[in-house]
């Protein structure tokens, strides 16, 4: 069974290390920026979105865990922003660690999240997935998510 728990302050630096590297790769791949420029952009964006880290109001940072025996195992992260007026949440980041991928934990985590949000009267989960991330797209589609649009960009140069 997969469970969620709030991310602790001492876990936030490891989350930043993972997130900045992962997001920088996505920026490089999808927007054709250099890796250095992508790292700077990723650092800037997360600093703006999470200025108070795990204590940023209006943001939810969770650790995903499983307990196969007595000991809890940290298997991933989930970051989302709830909008209680619209009764929606927007997932900014959802990650199952590489060692735990392929075990159905992503689908189980999304099912548990949906159940938890339904109990809080939320009606919709939204997210954005990179165009080249077929593994994530597969997990989301199998979990009942549908495509609502396509992001496109063009780099303008002289």
pLDDT digits (tens, 9 = 90+) for 74-97: 999 999 999 999 999 999 999 999
pLDDT of residue 29: 87
**Which residues, 6 or more positions from 79, have their beta carbon under 8 angstroms from its beta carbon?**
59, 60, 61, 62, 91, 92, 93, 94
> How far is it, in rounded angstroms, from Cα 14 to Cα 23?
14
Label residues 106-141 b or e (16+ Cβ within 10 Å = b): bbbbbebbeeebeeeebeebebebeeeeeebeebbe
pLDDT of residue 41: 95
Position 30 confidence tier, pLDDT thresholds 50, 70, 90: confident
Query: Domains in the chain, please, with CATH?
Result: 2-142 (3.40.630.30)
Query: Which tops the pLDDT comparison, 138 or 114?
Result: 114
Position 142 confidence tier, pLDDT thresholds 50, 70, 90: confident
Q: Quote the pTM value.
A: 0.90
Pairing of strands 88-96, 124-127: parallel
> Which of these ranges, 14-18, 64-68, 122-126, 132-136, has the smallest mean pLDDT?
132-136
pLDDT digits (tens, 9 = 90+) for 35-73: 999 999 999 999 999 999 999 999 999 999 998 777 889
């Amino acid at each position: 069974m997969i469970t969620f728990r709030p991310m602790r302050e001492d876990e936030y630096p490891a989350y930043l290390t993972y997130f900045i590297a992962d997001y920088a790769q996505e920026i490089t791949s999808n927007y054709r920026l250099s890796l250095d420029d992508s790292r700077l952009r990723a650092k800037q964006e997360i600093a703006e979105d999470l200025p108070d880290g795990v204590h940023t109001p209006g943001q939810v940072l969770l650790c995903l865990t499983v307990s196969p025996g007595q000991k809890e195992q940290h298997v991933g992260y989930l970051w989302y922003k709830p909008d209680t007026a619209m009764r929606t949440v927007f997932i900014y980041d959802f990650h199952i660690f590489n060692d735990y991928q392929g075990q159905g934990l992503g689908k189980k985590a999304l099912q548990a999240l949906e159940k938890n949000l339904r109990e809080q009267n939320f009606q919709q989960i939204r997210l954005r997935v990179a165009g080249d991330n077929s593994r994530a797209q597969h997990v989301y589609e199998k979990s009942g998510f549908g495509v609502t649009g396509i992001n496109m960009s063009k780099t303008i140069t002289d």
